Amino acid sequence: MSLNQSKIYGYTLSLLSQKADADDLMQEICLTMWEKFDTFELGTNFVSWGIQIARYKVANYRQKHYGKHKCILTDKAVQLLDMRSEKVMQNVDVRIDALEKCVKKLQPRKQELIQLRYDKELPVKTIAERFGRRPKSIYKALAHIQDSLLRCIRLLMAAE
């Protein structure tokens, strides 16, 4: 998945209650982006344009699929998340750069653990078997790594 697509997917996932829903809707969003690509103005922000398309797709999807069920998030909550996500998206490139720098600082074994879990999306049980450890110890290791990455990212961003 490209970086731009990941940003749009992250936005979409933040507004839906299920990953499977976001996965399905992301296909529609990408298709619409291709169909409407001639309306994109060169020199403007491509991700913002894609998020605008996603915003409408999410609203329609929620109305169609969640309208008849009790919804986890109200429309007002979705609007608030939407406004907040725009602010977050403005700094996402800086955060991604910081994350990449921080991951490179990790020991190779910890880098491998992060890659297996988040890049390859392997289940913790599979990773535990690969490392000859219990799943609980993998969860703990991931939590420690995540904490150290978060501290590292905060330090890098504060320095900028």
C-beta neighbour count of 149 within 10 angstroms: 18
The verdict on domain 93-159 having CATH code 3.20.20.10 is no
| Model confidence at 70: pLDDT above 60 | no
Helix 92-105 and helix 3-15: axis angle, to 10°?
110
pLDDT score at 51: 86
pLDDT score at 109: 94
pLDDT score at 116: 93
Give the pair of three-digit tokens for residue 28.
């529609």
Q: What single-letter amino acid sits at 44? A: T
Residue spans per domain, the chain: 3-89, 93-159
Of 67, 74, 59, which Cα lies nearest the Cα of 25?
59
Give per-residue pLDDT as tens, 85-124: 666 666 777 788 888 999 999 999 999 999 999 888 899 9
Give the pair of three-digit tokens for residue 48.
């913002």
Q: Rounded to two decimals, what is the model's pTM?
A: 0.55
Give per-residue pLDDT as tens, 15-60: 886 888 888 899 999 999 999 888 888 888 888 888 889 988 988 8
* CATH pick for 3-89 out of 1.10.357, 3.30.60, 3.30.1450, 1.10.1740: 1.10.1740
> Sign of torsion, CA 135 144 149 19?
positive
| Model confidence at 71: pLDDT above 70 | no
